[in-house]
Every structure is written in structure tokens, then in C-alpha cells.
Amino acid sequence: MSAETVESGASAAPRKGVSILFGLTLLGLLLFLWLLLGFATNSFWTPNNISNLLRQGAMTAILAVGQTFVIITAGIDLSVGAVVGFTSVIVAWLLAAGVPLWAAILLTLAFGVLIGAFHAFGIVRMGLPPFIITLATLTSLRGIGLLITNGSTISITNEAFTNFSRADFLGVPSLFWMVIVVAIPAYVFLHLSRFGRYLFAVGSNSEAARLSGVNVHRTIYLAYILSSTCAAFVGLLLASRIGIGNATQAEGWELQAIASSVIGGTSLFGAVGSVHGPLLGAFILATINNGANLLNVNSFWQRIITGVLIIVIVYFDQLRRRSAR
């Protein structure tokens, strides 16, 4: 086997350079879309619309970053949309019960941690495939949320909480600031800390990682807890934005998150991914939706365009990887 893989320096492109190139391509695509929409519509480059776009993209972007940690370990987290809906109920319920705001936020995030730990427990201890355990919590969490609210919604009366999502800071929507608040530590974690390296190693070859002294179980716990906690954080943002807790909210967001991650260059086979990629992916998707609205394109077409875009981008990424071999 060994003799066939004779190394040749020129064909084995350095990995980091390629990933920067791919990031720039995505950024170029995003700017191109913005320029295009700027010419095609009068309303795209208005402060109002840009704020709106940033708000739309923000929540998917945070979900996509969490999702990426899981996908890098060669797993998948289908539950994030359900976690968003569920935690929006939890925070509304806690606030309605008179719990102080800070405590309600911390408790809601703690629920995210617990859900992620449960996923990892199912994978590591019960030997369930990630797809199955997160599919199970997807349906169960929506059910639990509906039981708590008796099928209706809980209104949130705390003004400080609901005003947050409408507020701006330095002219930029506070929701977008939250993306930065998540992305910077996520970048440090994934690209600069040893835990990030361990995520890649586990996704590439968990047995080799284990024999090199990596605590594989702990790494998997870490990935799923981060994903669910990001989702719980988005649940808080969503509750703030719509002012209610409702377990049926955020339907299908898990697919938006996975799509953003994949468009951003994450490999579903594991061991390939970044933080900036999913962020760009999320805002590309948000731009397409926003632009389609402005151009009065039937919303059904938006879904089709998104699907085609996923195929095209991932296909070109595959071509690039193959030729880099």
C-alpha cells in the first residue's frame, strides 16, 4: 500500500493556504451578491435593510458555528432547531415565574449544557449514532416544550430583555454583536487551543487520537455541549426578538445551520472546518433570502436556490480537494 502513495512535493498543497483561498472565495461571493443586489434594487443598501439582514443572518451564524464543532468530529447535531424553540420556552417560563433576568439567562444556558451532555452520553456510553440521538431529542424537546406551554405560547413582559434584540450599538444591531461575541472565543478555541486540535484529530481518526493520549470521550462531550449551548444562546436571542416562548419556533433551523457550515467548507466526513467559513455561509444564505424578498421572488424559489447553491459550492470544494491531492 505504501509504495503507491509516493509523495511529490508540488501536488501536496499546504493546507492552510488553501483554506484561506476558500475563505476569500466565499467572501468574494458574498460581496458579489451584495453588489448585485445593490444594482438590482433600490432598497438593498438602506440602513434599515442592512440591519435586517444582519439580524436575519446572526442567529443562523451562531448555530452554524456550534454545529461546525460537532461536524469536525465527524458527527452531526440535528437537534439545534428544537433546542432553540425549547429554550425560548424555558426562558419565557422562568421570567413568567418571577426569576430575575440574569438567573433566567444562566439557567437557560445551563439547559443547553445539559442537552449537549445528554447527546454525548448517548453517543459515548450508549453507543448510539449521533444522527439517531440528536434526531430523538429533536422530536422530544419540541414535545416537552409543548407540554410546558400546553400547546400555546408564553409572552415575555420583561422589557429590558425584549428591547435588547431591537437595540443597536455603534450603529450595528446588537444581534450581530452577539455573533462577534461568539465567534472570537470560538476562533480561539478551534484554531488556537489544543482542544480545537483534538476535535480535528478525533474527527480524522479517533483510534489514533486515543492512542496518542487524547481523551476522546471528553472531546465528544465538549463538541456537543458547545453546539447545544450555542443553540440555547440563540434560543435566548429568538425569545428576545419575538417576545414569546414557543416550542414550535425555529423549525428547520438545524438544516440552515448544517447548510451554512457545509457551504463554509466543513466536511461532513469530519476533520475539515473553520469558524469563519460557517459565518460566511450563514450570511450568504441570509443574503439570498433577503435579496429574493426584495426582488419579489416567490419564497418557494428561495428554497430551490438554496438547494442548488449547496450542491454547486460543495461540488467545487470537492473538485478543489481532489486536485490538491
Partner 1 sequence: MTELQEARDIRTEGLHVATRHPVPKGEPILELRALQKKYGAVEALKPASLTFLSGEIHAIVGENGAGKSTLIKLLTGVIKRTSGEIFWCGKPVQLDTPHEAIERGINAVHQEVVLCAHLTVAANMFLGDEINRNGLMRKRAMTDAAQRVLDDLGFNLPAAAVLGSLTIGQQQLVATARAAMRGTQFLIFDEPTAYLTRQESAQLFRLIRRLQAEGVTIVYISHRMEEVFELADRVSVLRDGTHVGTRKIGETNEAELIALMINRTIEQIYHKEHFPPGEVIVETRDLSGPGFQDVSLTVHAGEIVGLYGLIGAGRSEFALGLYGRHRPSAGEVYWQGRKVDIASERVAMDLGIALAPESRRDQGLCLNLPIGLNINLPVFSRLTRGFTINGQQERENADRQIRDLKIKTPSRRVLASAMSGGNQQKIVIGKWLSHGAKLFIFDEPTVGVDVGTKAEIYRLFARLLENGAGIILISSYLPEVYELADRLHVFRRGRLVASHDYRAASHEEVLTQAIGV
Q: What residues make contact with partner 1 under the rule CB under 8 A?
A: 1-9, 11-12, 14-17, 188, 192-194, 197-198, 200-201, 204-205, 207-215, 271-272, 325
Query: Considering beta carbons, is residue 7 or 159 the nearer one to partner 1?
Result: 7
Smallest distance from the beta carbon of 20 to partner 1, in angstroms?
12
Using the Cα atoms of residue 108, residue 127, residue 218 and residue 266 in order, give the sign of their dihedral. negative
CA angle 174, 78, 150 (to 5 degrees): 75
Smallest distance from the beta carbon of 190 to partner 1, in angstroms?
11
In 3D space, the residue among 248, 261, 270 whose CA is nearest the CA of residue 310 turns out to be: 261
CA angle 227, 57, 116 (to 5 degrees): 10
Q: Which residues pair with 173 in a beta bridge?
A: 168
Smallest distance from the beta carbon of 265 to partner 1, in angstroms?
14
Query: Considering beta carbons, is residue 159 or 207 the nearer one to partner 1?
Result: 207
The whole-angstrom separation of Cα 271 and Cα 199 is 7
Query: Considering beta carbons, is residue 206 or 289 the nearer one to partner 1?
Result: 206
Lookup result for grid cell 406551554: 149
Query: Considering beta carbons, is residue 210 or 320 the nearer one to partner 1?
Result: 210
* Single-letter code of the amino acid located at 132: I
Smallest distance from the beta carbon of 110 to partner 1, in angstroms?
22
C-alpha 280 chain-centroid distance: 11
* Single-letter code of the amino acid located at 14: P
Query: Considering beta carbons, is residue 199 or 250 the nearer one to partner 1?
Result: 199
Smallest distance from the beta carbon of 186 to partner 1, in angstroms?
13
Question: Residue 296 has what DSSP assignment?
Answer: T
